[in-house]
Amino acid sequence: MLARSRPLLRIATSSSHRQAVLLPQLPTHFTPPTAQPSPAYSQLSQRTALRLVHSHHRTSYAMAHLPPSPTIALTPSESTLVSLLSSCCAWINSTHPQPSPDEGGSHVDYARSGPLEARIAGGWVRDKLLGLPSNDLDISLSLMTGLNFAILFKQYLSTVAPSTPGSSSHDNMATQAAEALSRITKIAANPEQSKNLETATATFNGLQLDFVNLRKEVYHGDSRIPVMEFGDPREDAERRDITINSLFFNVHTREVEDCTGMGLEDMRAGLVRTPLSPLTTFLDDPLRILRCVRFASRFNYRLDAGIVACLKGEGNVERGDDPRLREMEAGEVPRRGRELVREALVSKVSRERVGIEVDKMMKGPFPLLAHYHLMDLDLHSLVFSPYSLIVNGKTLPHRAAPNDLNSSSAAKLALTLSHLLDCLSPSPITRNSTLSIPTSFLPHYDPALLASVPAELKAPLADAEQRRRLEYCCALLGSAQGEVEEKKNKYIPASEAVLLYGLKLGRATSAQPVSSLVTAATSLLPGPQDGVDHIEQKALESIPNLPTLLEGQLTTQPLVTLFLRDKNLNNPALNMHPSTALTAAFLYAAGTSILPASSWSTAYAPLLELVAQHDLYARLDEKPLLDGNAVLALLELKPGPMTTRLLNAVLVWQFARSREEASGEEAKREVGGWLKGLWEQGWIVPFEERGKGGDAKGKKKVKTDKK
């Protein structure tokens, strides 16, 4: 077995303290766009409807003064659960019951040495030490599998515990737990996707429980394929992803156990480190590469130099006695090891698991740090590239856009845009915390420059969900402006395909809204320095055959309102609003220097002024006075593609009037007469285009002089 021998540390209880630590700078490899000197950040006036992002986050989770004996403060539910787990183990050790085969149980060999013990493992222990709430508990068992224990635990709670003398509250908790554990779910192991452990899940009083056995991996003979066997706490801790996730809470002694001897040390130092060599750890489960990045960005910890060296193929990468590396020459290990773990991350890990990790990065407290590590470790292309999307075993064809960048430049742009996003946010993390990012990667902006950006462009950053979408936008703007062939001859935006197929995120919650932001920022919206002429022309494209006389009578207001209803800008069902699209467009223009800093203060000024003057956003969700059926009946048409043009014409008429003027039966009669008159004269849809696509009912066309 691969291991570094370290003593088992049992930690008694006491209080804990926290203090941020200064993190050393890492080497630089990139010069960002030129910006004004002197770092400072403007405050954004808040809209009460939006909740603040990051205002509740600590600037560092390093615990420099974590004492030798930190406390785990249990909630009442946790304390009861711990008592029940401990007493259940005592019952099992004394009676040796067998789990029911009818519930999926298998025979338990009680002849194994040592009694059954239960420990709470991993993230729950870490978060409790950090003073963070946690409802997910991994229950690690010696002697038996998690499913077998869950079955016996349910049996104990339903038959033994209620008859045991004790408080009524304890009995009630046992009864509730028994009811919850009646819904045990077995999750099978899937080694092909690097999911190596069978687990059983259940809930108890709001706590999510995963039951799993302590394990170790053993290589027999010359085999390169490890065999999973029961292990002890130290062996189990050494097979975990990082040291701060390898801590145990013993339910019998109520003590914290640091079996690697590094977990508490790394929490004090603010360090993400693997218990074994990084190469071995990543080959066991390549997803751990992204988990290292996620936890570094979640807690503002720095990555251990060994992890960085392994993923860059540099320096002395430990080979140890890992059979998978046995045939490699020592000099080949850094380069070949890097290739192996990168290939495994792409081929062995399900895209759902990748998407879960990436999504936690983007909505976490330090997404900027995640963008940096993805760039620095050359992982951005493995996560966000549209070139290697596989569906049903086939790579989806990709058509690049002229502005798409290579993978390195796209990753650098993502970092630049995310940094600007942070600087404009209500609580910039780079103002209040020391990040493990070289300062040369982060341009400093003059406070007056940041303060000059219109508040309307900053407002979406105060909403957590809009901020998450904008972080994805930062990641995709550099390399995913093209298209991907989803089905034969059906292309979708590359940004949508990356999120939908590359990360397996929801179409409605992520793929479509983020893709719309990319489209809006790169092709739909005008430049931040442009007037509203561009918008007027875009609106007229949706009703290209309005008469010249009517165009002359139209003000800008109704056309701009119609444009802002575009599905890539406004979609209440998907929580999409034009304000977020304008923010994305500004970020892209400012971050790529298309928009000079001298023009930041006037970005989208004519449009924003028009929106505010006429309260255009308030009318975006109005329904046409005449719906599709009414329009078709009025003009004696069948459903077809012309219906959309006709409804847009109704909306233009509607938006040219106040809400009061454009409501009621009289307004419906007026707009109906107006629409029919134009239609009979050949406007809106020219005579030669009618009858295509099933709109017309064969009525004789009437030629009318348009002059």
CA distance 498 to 181: 38
> In 3-state terms, what secondary structure has residue 636?
coil
Q: What pLDDT was estimated at residue 392?
A: 78
Closest to 306 in 3D by CA, of 275, 284, 331:
275
CA distance 183 to 185: 6
Q: What pLDDT was estimated at residue 440?
A: 84
Contacts of residue 46, Cβ cutoff 8 Å, sequence gap at least 6: 52, 426, 462
Tell me the mean pLDDT in the region 242-271. 96
Q: What percent of the chain has pLDDT over 70?
A: 81
| Count of C-beta atoms within a 10 Å radius of residue 584 | 28
pLDDT at 5 over 80: no
Give the ranges where 478-577 is alpha helix by DSSP (H).
Answer: 494-497, 512-519, 533-541, 548-553, 556-564
pLDDT at 36 over 70: no
The pLDDT-based confidence of 258 (bands split at 50, 70, 90) is very high
DSSP class of 323 = G
Strand partners, 272: 303
Considering only residues 625 and 322, tell me which one the structure prediction assigns the higher pLDDT.
625
**For residues 50 and 462, is the Cβ–Cβ distance under 8 A?**
yes
Q: What percent of the chain has pLDDT over 90?
A: 61
Q: How many CA atoms lie within 13 A of 7 on its CB side?
A: 3
Give the ranges where 554-615 is alpha helix by DSSP (H).
Answer: 556-564, 578-591, 605-614
- Among 217-231, 351-365, 417-431, the range scoring the smallest mean pLDDT is 217-231
* Count helices and strands in the chain by DSSP H and E runs: 28, 17
Tell me the mean pLDDT in the region 160-165. 62
How would you label 519-543 residue by residue, b for 16+ Cβ within 10 Å and e otherwise? bbbbebbbebeeebeebbebbbebb
CA distance 63 to 60: 8
Closest to 424 in 3D by CA, of 385, 394, 392, 466:
466
**Residue 644 Cα to chain centre, angstroms:** 35
Tell me, what amino acid is at 619? R
Q: What pLDDT was estimated at residue 513?
A: 98
Considering only residues 560 and 329, tell me which one the structure prediction assigns the higher pLDDT.
560
DSSP string, 224-291: SS-EEEE--HHHHHHTSSSGGG--EEETTTTEEEETTS-HHHHHHHTEE--SS-HHHHHHH-TTHHHH
Tell me, what amino acid is at 98? Q
Tell me the mean pLDDT in the region 65-74. 86
CA distance 150 to 553: 75
How would you label 436-456 residue by residue, b for 16+ Cβ within 10 Å and e otherwise? bbeeebbbbbbbebbbbbbeb
The pLDDT-based confidence of 47 (bands split at 50, 70, 90) is very low
Strand partners, 694: none
**For residues 461 and 54, is the Cβ–Cβ distance under 8 A?**
no
What's the chain's average pLDDT?
84
Stretch (H or E) spanning 673: helix 665-680
Stretch (H or E) spanning 81: helix 76-95
Q: What pLDDT was estimated at residue 707?
A: 39
Contacts of residue 582, Cβ cutoff 8 Å, sequence gap at least 6: 456, 457, 525, 604, 607, 608
pLDDT in tens, 510-544: 999 999 999 999 999 999 998 898 888 888 887 87
pLDDT in tens, 495-504: 999 999 999 9
Considering only residues 5 and 293, tell me which one the structure prediction assigns the higher pLDDT.
293
pLDDT at 694 over 60: no
Q: Which two tokens stand for residue 229?
A: 């066997």
pLDDT in tens, 576-613: 999 999 999 999 999 999 999 999 999 999 999 999 99
Q: What pLDDT was estimated at residue 225?
A: 60
**Residue 325 Cα to chain centre, angstroms:** 34
CA distance 416 to 422: 10
Tell me the mean pLDDT in the region 542-568. 81
Contacts of residue 1, Cβ cutoff 8 Å, sequence gap at least 6: 216, 217, 218, 235
**For residues 386 and 484, is the Cβ–Cβ distance under 8 A?**
yes
> In 3-state terms, what secondary structure has residue 571?
strand
Contacts of residue 177, Cβ cutoff 8 Å, sequence gap at least 6: 81, 84, 157, 204, 205
